[in-house]
Structure 1
Amino acid sequence: MPAGDNPNRNSLLDLKNFQFTFDCSNFIEPDASDDDSRSLSDSVLDYPHEFGRTYHAYRAGSYAYPNDIPEQERLAFQGPIIKKLFGDRLYFAPLSQTRPPQSILDVATGVGDWAIEMGDLFPSSEVIGTDLSPIQPDMVPPNVNFYVEDSSDPWECTDKFGYIHTRLTAGSWCNFEKEIAEQAFQALQPGGWLESQEVEAVFGCDDGTLDPGGPMCTWLHEMRVAAEDFQRPAILGSTLKEVFERVGFVDVQQRIFKLPMSEWPKDERLKEIGRMWGANFSQGLNGFSVQLMNRVFGRTPAEIELSLVKIREELANPQIHAYMPVFVVWGRKPFAGERTDAMMT
């Protein structure tokens, strides 16, 4: 109850000068759950070290990519690139500026940059970001909160969300449809939106300048094989529209963007995006590769790093006109009693 609504507020304030005279010698046992909470807080920060990198401690081993400072810096650089590709947009779902969602959930928030920007954009909304690693900043808008969570677990939501978001989470889930899309559908208010923004793990090229048997394509093929073996498939974006519709979302929309791998485009905006993305991708190659390639193919970190040299050379070559497709899909949870195509078939 707010202090202004408390009829005993004045008497409560007077207690600050009260001298207690009763016996205080009896020990009051603290709730052990407080110690458990502290232990959990300590344990999620006890990051395992492998291959010269650190990885998440909570549910250790379920996510193949590092969480150390170089990776945090890469993730922080990655968000603005995607936003620039989208024409300075954070989302595509038709959210109302005058009546924004009361609650927004960012699943696998990473360093939390998207959630923080949404908190600034919608100051009346509560924005929640969840991740396996507590790598988000402490200084955030007052309406933004972060929690350590494995979103593949059953969601225990007492309140419903108005908007749920994922971005660049391919390789994070055993089954995106079951673990994320179906749970998001249940966790949304009727009329609420789910939106996913996912870079597909394929290289596209429209003019034959990318060698399908070269280092880049060979590496990415092996990464997809390794991710499948790790039971975290890397192919997600191209499946999203079907998944959304199958789960029961309506008004499902899809947009596909081309994300250049270097500065090869003539268009100045895309040239800058390609320069940024190529540098970001090159920086992330070790983190993408080392755990998967070691566990699935038995390669040593030195062997893996040596193989990445040729990939970086191709990435930096503006004569190779490669790009990655980015799928943005959003859909609405129908209102109660609303008839949908899925219901009628």
Structure 2
Amino acid sequence: MGTSGNHAGDNPNRNSLLDLKNFQFTFDVSNFIEPDSPSGLVDDGSMSLSESVRDYPHEFGRTYHAYRAGSYAYPNDIPEQERLAFQGPIIRNLFEGRLYFAPLSPAKPPQFILDVATGVGDWAIEMGDLFPSSEVVGTDLSPIQPDMVPPNVNFYVEDARETWDYTDKFGYIHTRLTAGSWGNFQKEVAEQAFQALEPGGWLESQEVEAVFACDDGTLDPAGPMCTWLHEMRVAAEDFQRPAILGSTLKEVFESVGFIDVQQAIFKMPMNPWPKDERLKEIGRMWGENFSQGLNGFSIQLMNKVFGRTPAEIELSLVKIREELADPRVHAYMPVFVVWGRKPFAGEQSNTMMT
């Protein structure tokens, strides 16, 4: 697996440059979530895959993608696939049932829809069911999508960081939970999406920010959760796959040339601490999902960047899981949804693409 080759101690200035514990956000998180009281704690045949893309490398007791091996730090094995499948309903519940926010017309939906880094393909399949007259394409490094899919949904093995080469123009392009996948989201995704869209088409990104936030001081900024996430951001930067994405999306969309750019921000509770029953259930599910993913999130980055053994890494995750599950800690992760439209010919763009 390739990395930049630099470990944490190789650059004495790096940690100070990347210290994001005091990261200043420009988004509004004024919508306060009321915590619960203590008493309430409770393959289709569209392409033939060679054997090589399914010959998954094994490391740390996990499997990883074979195509462009080493370019993505997280596993693709059955536990991770199950976790990804569990993630989709949580996000949809947070969005109160919505799959998308761009103003797509149910009466005249996009002819072609692209889901970049589709994962297990659940979003693409749901969109295929929702828009049966649309052709939905999902791309990913791993062929981990189901074989039984709607007839208008197709999956392809592809590295979206490379040059896109599509014959048809898309009416809608989508990403979800892809932070840590890109060296440069603007160049690798946003600019290519702008070119791949038909005039009037939409790009939408739904991204959980790699930040634990808290509105009432119940989260210790020097505690296990924040310390771990700070180290993960440093490691992701060293791996040249920055973990901070959501809070940059609106500016990226506008600088690329999208117009009518809109942003919505949600709070994803880390455990069942909210009083609101819907948010309580979301927090319970997200906390379980996140806890299940900790090993996969950590094992490659912490080993390659900091030189820690798998045993050391797993031991350190015990206290993180304990803090994650503590309903006295009112932590959440910001979720950014940004969508923008490619202008028609002659329509004024926010900026010109460089």
Provide TM-score, normalisation by structure 2: 0.86
Give the length in aligned residue pairs. 306
* Greater relative CO (CA pairs within 8 A, separation 6+): 2
Find the counterpart in structure 2 of residue 229 from structure 1: 238
Find the counterpart in structure 2 of residue 110 from structure 1: 119
- Of the three residues 279, 282, 297, the one matched with 2:291 is 282
1:215 aligns with 2:238: no
Distance 2:240 2:259 in 1: 29
Distance 1:159 1:125 in 2: 13
- Of the three residues 139, 148, 155, the one matched with 1:139 is 148
- Of the three residues 236, 250, 272, the one matched with 1:263 is 272
TM superposition shift of 1:293: 0.1
TM superposition shift of 1:104: 0.1
Find the counterpart in structure 2 of residue 98 from structure 1: 107
Find the counterpart in structure 2 of residue 54 from structure 1: 63
Find the counterpart in structure 2 of residue 167 from structure 1: 176
CA contact (8 A) 2:116 2:174 kept: yes
Going from structure 1 to structure 2, the CA distance change for 1:194 and 1:217 (only over 3 Å counts) comes to same
SS of the equivalent of 1:56 reads: coil
Task: Give CA-to-partner distance per residue, 1:80-120, whole Å, 9 cap, x none.
Answer: 00000000000000000000000000000000000000000
Distance 1:152 1:115 in 2: 19
- Of the three residues 314, 323, 327, the one matched with 2:323 is 314
SS of the equivalent of 2:334 reads: strand
RMSD between aligned alpha carbons?
0.9
Percent identical across equivalent pairs? 87
Counterpart of 1:228, as a letter, is E
CA contact (8 A) 2:206 2:336 kept: yes
Distance 1:208 1:296 in 2: 31
Distance 1:340 1:205 in 2: 37
Distance 2:249 2:156 in 1: 26
Task: Give CA-to-partner distance per residue, 1:141-169, whole Å, 9 cap, x none.
Answer: 00000000000000001110000000000
- The 5 A counterparts of 1:182-193 are 182-193=191-202
Distance 2:350 2:77 in 1: 46
Unaligned runs of 5+ in 2: 1-46
Counterpart of 1:195, as a letter, is E
* Largest Rg, 1 or 2: 1
Find the counterpart in structure 2 of residue 294 from structure 1: 303
| Structure that is richer in helix per residue | 1
Counterpart of 1:80, as a letter, is P
Instruction: After the TM superposition, list the runs of 4 or more consecutive aligned residues in structure 1 that deviate by more than 4 angstroms.
Output: none
SS of the equivalent of 2:87 reads: helix
Distance 1:95 1:85 in 2: 20
Counterpart of 1:159, as a letter, is D
Distance 2:83 2:300 in 1: 18
Distance 1:61 1:189 in 2: 33
Find the counterpart in structure 1 of residue 254 from structure 2: 245
1:123 aligns with 2:132: yes
CA contact (8 A) 2:254 2:350 kept: no
- The 5 A counterparts of 1:201-212 are 201-212=210-221
Provide TM-score, normalisation by structure 1: 0.88
Counterpart of 2:233, as a letter, is R
SS of the equivalent of 2:50 reads: helix
Distance 1:245 1:60 in 2: 33
- Of the three residues 325, 337, 353, the one matched with 1:328 is 337
Task: Give CA-to-partner distance per residue, 1:282-332, whole Å, 9 cap, x none.
Answer: 000000000000000000000000000000000000000000000000000
Task: Give CA-to-partner distance per residue, 1:29-83, whole Å, 9 cap, x none.
Answer: xxxxxxxx97x61000000000000000000000000000000000000000000
TM superposition shift of 1:261: 0.1
Distance 1:226 1:54 in 2: 20
